[in-house]
Amino acid sequence: MERWEEKRQEEVEREAAWRDVEHVKVLPRAIKPHALQPAHLKVPFGYYRRFIPKFAQIAAPLQEVLHGHPKETFKRPTAINWEKEQEQNFQKKKIPADCDKLPKNSPSGVYVIKPHLSPPLVVYCHVDEDDNRWTVIQKNSKTTEITWHESWTTFKYGFGNVMKDFWLGNEYIHLLTSQNVYMVRFLLKDKSDKEWYADYDIFSLDKEVNGYALRLGRYSGTAGDYLTVFDTNTVHDNMKFSTKDKDQDRSGSHCAASYSGWWYDNCFLVQLNGKSYIYWKNVCLGDCNESMIMIRPTGIC
């Protein structure tokens, strides 16, 4: 009898406590505090009171959603907002957009850059005697381990080792040259290790839907202009990029299937992407020791 009266008294106290906090209107009406107490545990109701403010904080956003305010409570991030946020984060970290943005007196070496709309890229930066800082997009050597006979997708995203021989990737070269006006230098070492170069005051790659076509400006240098001059029914400027699985040259044959990825016409006057084969007309007939293509912002615009 005494046990029954104790239980009844506990029920009365719980109901009274519920009426005291009922105005909070946080928990569903079907769930009362005493229902949260397991039957085999004898915990005073005061133990639960301290959690009621926390329940209110948790349930408030849910009630807003249920009462028709989901837009104010939840703002789903869009892809555009995410990209803008990431871009701002990289700007705060001061990651350079290209090698030209490196601090003065920076040595040649491997750096991380972040072109506009591009993911971060690990690149090799070449600093010349005049402290011009170039972003290297290609390097090849006579003793290369790379076959260069790669697919369209592989050339799109790049391959190789930036400390040795590599191709940065057509998509990244396109994004890099889309953020500014760039010039390019084609640097060669012949079989006697004599250096030759060809500069073009404008350089860019068109977007993929246009075949990553090569766009070049005016020439200056020592190697001779064999990229923009039409010679023996062949020119490289404005040609689309071709690979072994994507033939976009103007010849009757498939140049890239016989050689490797390049801007072919009928077929080439210049070809720097070959295994143990680096060609520039009147400089080296496939027997150059090294080639390098590097870019930096031009001063003409």
pLDDT in tens, 184-242: 999 999 999 999 999 999 999 999 999 999 999 999 999 999 999 999 899 999 999 99
Residue 300 is predicted with a pLDDT of 73
Look up tokens 């994004």; give the residue.
Answer: 175
The CATH superfamily assigned to 95-297 is Gamma Fibrinogen, chain A, domain 1 (3.90.215.10)
Look up tokens 């016989």; give the residue.
Answer: 258
Residue 287 is predicted with a pLDDT of 94
pLDDT at 91 over 90: no
Neighbours of 133 (CB within 10 A): 22
- Mean pLDDT of all residues in the chain? 83
Segments making up each domain of the chain, as ranges: 2-73, 95-297
Confidence of residue 16 (pLDDT cuts 50, 70, 90): low
Helix (H, G, I), strand (E, B) or coil at 133: strand
pTM of the model: 0.71
